[in-house]
Amino acid sequence: MRDFSPILLAHLAERGARHAQVLIWIEAKDRATGEPATIGLWSGADHETFSIDGQARDYFGAGTILKVPPIITERGMSVRTTRVEFSAVAPEVQEATRGYETRNAPFQMHIANFDPQTEQLIAEPHRVYKGIVAGLEFTRPPPGEQATCELSIVNSARSLTRTLALRKSDASLRARSPNDAFRQYADVSGSIEVVWGEIRQAAPTPVVAGPTPTPLESTNR
């Protein structure tokens, strides 16, 4: 259940003119450095800073978002795909799609409600969608038409479809944390017998025979 502020509830209850904008936030990874990187895009006419959950976020506007379909919510664990259309020529979109690794990147969509007369923000934007980026596709339009970039988004139910990894190597853990030696001997696991809670009889010590004496040595003895 969404929790709206009293001032926003009063505005929605008036059933008068509305002025709402869409805010999109992507937590991707920089392709050059591998470090986490975030970028915000919104349907407003200019760049703006919004406070989301007490954190200041910068959102780039000026026509970066072209089309957002209606958000469909339902009970259950169905995986739904939503496709958001951006302007492919916008510099901020170029930076987000080409400079950052967006696949499987966390994605959030908020709605910001403004007073239709004063253009002032009524309340902190509220979240309407949360998921991950599943795909990215650029269009090649005919001359004279606008190039677009379509971002495919799936909801959080997608995480429930992931299967468990059957194997993990020591190298994969050390890539995340160099001192993580939990799977140091994973490659020989199962090939070495380990006795738990019992004593196995030791094998008899082999007798090493000495050199065979010659006939002359046997006579002298």
Q: Where are the domains of the chain?
A: 6-161
| Residue 69: band (very low, low, confident or very high) from pLDDT cuts 50, 70, 90 | confident
Is pLDDT at 219 greater than 60 in this prediction?
A: no
Rounded Cα distance between 8 and 110, Å, is 14
Residue 124 to residue 119: CA distance in whole angstroms? 14
pLDDT of residue 50: 92
Task: List strand residue ranges (DSSP E) for the chain, in order.
Answer: 19-30, 36-42, 48-52, 55-60, 65-67, 81-87, 100-101, 106-114, 126-138, 148-155
Pairing of strands 36-42, 55-60: parallel
Q: Comparing 13-27, 56-70, 72-86, which segment has the lowest mean pLDDT?
A: 72-86
- Burial (CB < 10 A; 0-12, 13-18, 19+), residue 179, is exposed
The conformation of residue 162, written as its DSSP 8-state character, comes to: P
pLDDT tens for 77-89 read: 667 788 888 887 7
pLDDT at residue 101 is higher than 80: yes
Instruction: Tell me: pLDDT of 21 over 80.
Output: yes
Residue 176 CA to residue 183 CA, distance in Å, equals 13
Please report which confidence band the pLDDT of residue 56 belongs to, taking 50, 70 and 90 as the band edges: very high
Judge whether residue 209 has pLDDT over 70: no
Tell me which residue has tokens 């904008």.
21
How does pLDDT run across 137-168, given as a tens digit for each residue?
887 777 877 778 888 888 776 666 666 665 67
pLDDT score recorded for residue 185: 79
- pLDDT of res. 211: 62
Average pLDDT over residues 113-119: 86
